[in-house]
Chains A and B, each alone.
Chain A
């Protein structure tokens, strides 16, 4: 175990050093600085914006929503949230080129909307399932 862990750390350090060397040796300074900015911005955007927003939703949802509804809401959030983030490049059509109709050739707003409806249906099904599974349990308690 000790040897495996030591080996992994060594291999990982070599990998990081090689990657860093590739990064700084193949592009000019302006490009390297921009990569560094992206690396920093990624953490700031995730830890400073995205994560707090999700935490806030969880905090509010946990206090306001009954358990069954909260289950449904979590289902919708986990299924739809990442897909919506993944959809940003196509929703905005940022890479579209006027002379290339084979690129970005769908109605992405409509597509995401249909997927969102499916997610809400899944959420409702989960919430209803929770309600139904709780009723017999409550009946048992009353019998005791």
Chain B
């Protein structure tokens, strides 16, 4: 079989007018994913130079939901975009060095853009289903490749800007930037391709990411999570290795403020003033679910050890080996009325997998930082 050339592809659907439009949507998805992804990484910093706001309490739920939705929508769009521009893979290289060098650089940036985009979308997709068939750190790699992918995308936009501008301001059936032999009508019109691309992106996004949205989650048939069993659980008590200590009668919650310390049993906590707030658990994997949490206001506990307002607070778990073993609450979160050391969820005693004997629940925080099985609260 001979290797095809650019001119082997004759469909008029493979046109700059289509590529620019699908590319625009893809670019919007990448922009949304970049901004929301940066917010998520910033939210997981232990010491944020400027703390994120604690209100509205559902902000992180929204931004991280958008992050995963934009990434999922980008999968069909990227596949269709690559189908439209596939002939460019077979473009000949210019003979003269003066032309060959910029062409080679541009092709190199396209190769980087395509490979990092495919890996970003794939690793993100797999992370949502908690499938990690690799030895590298998902978090570090997804963060680093985001800059490479978006950098390569900016170069690509710069190179194509005149064509993109022409294509987007002209009609979708315009042939000004098409190869002369790309004339064969396809089975659908160019508008048809755009309608199908948009529908496919929306369908895949809904099916894969809407599983915990009230009402429609039930028919989001490909979502790894649902509300069937209440708020989903990421790490069970068993896998965190905390069952024995968490259920032990020797359990104490340590409060530390300098030399001032207090040690409380769960019964001591139950005897304190109880408050109830409806707050979401919003996971980095995009799912989120609200619960009615009951427990002691963190500020009340801080008052027990005479901690002034405006201090950072470290919350530590019985669990020791994972990233969620301890987190730091910025002052605006530590002092917020809604930040609870929760003992109850939806009217029942907190289950072991949800963090019994007591867990942190604060507004507008990534779920991984809502520390479960809390053993120690330290004023910094």
Contacts and interface: CB of A to CB of B under 8 A. Distances in A.
Interface of A: 1, 4-6, 8-9, 11-20, 22-23, 26-27, 30-32, 34-35, 38-40, 42-43, 46-47, 50-51, 54-55, 58, 61-62, 65, 67, 70-71, 73-75, 78-79, 81-83, 85-87, 89-90, 92, 94-95, 97, 99-106, 108, 110-112, 114-115
A89 B129 contact: yes
A111 B135 contact: no
Contact of A22 (B144, B224, B229): B144
Contact of B132 (A40, A47, A95): A95
B203 A79 contact: yes
B95 to A, nearest CB: 24
B299 interface: no
Contacts of B380: none
Interface of B: 11, 72, 75-76, 79-80, 82-83, 86, 89, 109, 111-112, 114-116, 118-119, 122-123, 125-126, 128-137, 140-141, 143-159, 161-162, 186-188, 192-193, 196-197, 199-201, 203-204, 207-208, 211, 221-226, 228-229, 232-234, 236, 238-239, 353
5 contacts: A9-B158, A19-B146, A87-B208, A90-B208, A103-B233
A99 B239 contact: yes
Contact of B151 (A19, A32, A34, A94): A19
Contact of B148 (A4, A23, A34): A23
B24 to A, nearest CB: 15
A19 B119 contact: no
A104 B223 CA distance: 8
B157 A35 contact: no
A95 B150 CA distance: 29
Nearest to B117: A42
A75 B366 CA distance: 39
B72 A22 contact: no
A106 B157 CA distance: 41
Given A46-B118, A86-B204, A67 B187 contact: yes
B196 A27 contact: no
- Which 4 A-B residue pairs are closest in the complex by CB-CB distance? A15-B151, A111-B221, A19-B147, A12-B154
Given A95-B224, A112-B222, 6 more contacts: A39-B116, A79-B199, A83-B204, A90-B223, A100-B353, A110-B221
Contact of B196 (A15, A20, A34, A79): A79
B217 to A, nearest CB: 10
Nearest to B147: A19
